[in-house]
Amino acid sequence: MTRGRRRKAFSLTEVLIGMAVVLTLSAGLFNTLRTESVQELAKRDMDNLRQWLDSAIVRADRWRCSFYLSVYMPSNLSAPHFMTLRWLGRHSGSAAGEKFSANTKVRWRLNGTCRNFTYRWQTHTVTPAFVITACEASGRNTGEALTLSLRGLLRRTSSQ
């Protein structure tokens, strides 16, 4: 009776495959447990908002078309704050409106009481100018802000 050869250890390939499986599972578990802070969310939202507004201004100048911008800040904590953009003139039919929504954990605060703004491509101006600040749900300022000046210039400020 001959016995088969007994293995004393795993091969290098088996060890590497096992390590890859364990690392993949632990990385997936870590990502599901990790949550972003409101500060990180606010920073990313303000960056995205700046890019969205900058893109709208560039398109307005290229298309020679003005737009209205409206800011909505629902008091319901589960509803996100958002902006809508409505094109005026000949491009209003092709791209009637656009919307930017903030993360539901990020709240906005506007300076002043005005919630509607107009961008005029002829003068490259926004009336009135505004500063939008990102806040936590409790109302505490995160230090992230975006300024759209009367001259149509965007400036992003951060506390970090």
Question: CATH number, domain at 120?
Answer: 3.55.40.10
Range of the domain at 45: 38-157
In a domain, 102, yes or no: yes
pLDDT digits (tens, 9 = 90+) for 92-138: 555 678 999 999 889 999 998 899 999 999 999 999 999 999 998 88
Residue 112 located in a structural domain: yes
Whether 2 is covered by a domain: the verdict is: no
| Residue 30 forms part of a structural domain | no
2 pLDDT exceeds 90?
no
pTM to 2 decimal places:
0.74
Any domain includes 137: yes
Query: DSSP states of the chain as a string?
Result: -PPPPPP-S--HHHHHHHHHHHHHHHHHHHHHH----HHHHHHHHHHHHHHHHHHHHHHHHHHT--EEEEEE--SSTTSPPEEEEEE-STTTTTS-EEEEE--TT-EEEESSS--EEEEETTTTEEES-EEEEEE-TTS-EEEEEEEE-TTS-EEEE---
Asked whether residue 126 is assigned to any structural domain, the reply reads: yes
Which tens digit of pLDDT belongs to each residue from 45-81? 999 999 999 999 999 999 898 999 999 999 888 899 9
Most confident of 3-7, 32-36, 74-78, 145-149: 145-149
